[in-house]
Amino acid sequence: VSADNIITFSYDDVANSRQNPFPGKLFNKPTEEGTPGVDVYEGCKIDYSGRDVTPENFLAALKGDSSKASGKVLKSGAEDRVFINFADHGAPGLIAFPHSELHADDLIDALKYMNENKMYNELVFYLEACESGSMFEDKLPEDIKIYATTAANAHESSWGTYCPPSSKVDGKNLNTCLGDLYSVNWMEDADLANTTESLDDQFQKVKAETSKSHVMEYGELDFDSQKADSFWGKVAAPAFRYSKVDPSIKSSSAVDSRDVGLTTFYSQYLTSDPRDLKNRRKLAEKLIAEIEFRQWSDELFSKIAEKVMMSNNGMLSDALYGHRKPVSFQCHKAAIKQYKSVCGELTDYSLKHVRVLVNLCEITKDTESVTNGIKEVCQA
């Protein structure tokens, strides 16, 4: 695929981070000491980075709207095949961007726009995020030539893989998860460069190998017999040729995506030099702060649910632990906006509790009741 036909969004804060033991490089697979990893950052042309990685730019790029995008946009036509791969955090009815969120209704509207304006012949969408199935379930039409697969169903987490202690590249521990289980599975399969493999062949394989969550498929399944690499092009497969890893490690090293931050801080502390007491103290404080924030977040959303349900009919347990389908997006958006305004930003961990806000919206059907409850709890 020509570079002119690729649009890349990446916050791009990892390769040159001071915490990266390989400055200017990125790896998504471990290697033994003495075996250099494959730098997947090399040659990567990023079109949108930092503050430009927004839902607004993403949707404008998909719709080919250069008047609203700050960079390259899709210029495809009725005879083209389009492939979209998205990997970030998520929650019921939304996928996360670095500083904001994209809700399912807005994504589906953009995909419908692309269909109505003949911007593709066939479109394939691979989505890696927690509760990613909720972006398409009962929402993506089955007659607009879009085939989507997700890392998880509508109410479960996705998982990281090659996590500590299996996160070493050439003997150096990166102390974090090198990839996501679903994404690693489909990408490593693509690296095999099997030119006869169909979309359905790959789906069945990735579904079987992604043992920690339920890989799902949505949309129009009639063209899943198409060759998989006809959507992303020929793969040179360097990662497969030069990096041999026991396949079982992918599952044994997997960590719930909500716990990757905690795992990272714990590994950083555990593997730090015990003689460097000053640095070890800083790492301990980061780990303790993460634990305390998680506890605060758990308690906060419980209080919000209690406050809202006090004035509404329904079971508190349904609000806290239920899995209502996200439908009332006006309420969802208002609740999240209110939360971020008076409670704080949503984090990789606290996104798990967006489920509570969705449940409250769907149970009460009362946006004002939900937003007032959030305000009262967070300003108490």
Residues with a catalytic annotation lie at 89, 130
**Which string of DSSP letters, residue by residue, matches 323-354?**
-PPP--HHHHHHHHHHHHHHT----TTGGGGH
Instruction: List CB contacts of 168: < 8 A, sequence separation 6 or more.
Output: 30, 31, 32, 33, 174
**Distance between CA atoms of 332 and 176, rounded to whole angstroms?**
32
Cβ contact 144:138 at 8 Å: no
Beta strands in the chain (DSSP E): 81-87, 90-91, 94-96, 101-103, 122-128, 146-150, 159-161, 168-169, 172-173, 179-180, 216-219, 255-256
Query: What are the tokens at 258?
Result: 């909500």
**Distance between CA atoms of 188 and 243, rounded to whole angstroms?**
11
- Compute CA distances 318 → 11, 132, 355, 364, whole Å: 36, 21, 11, 11
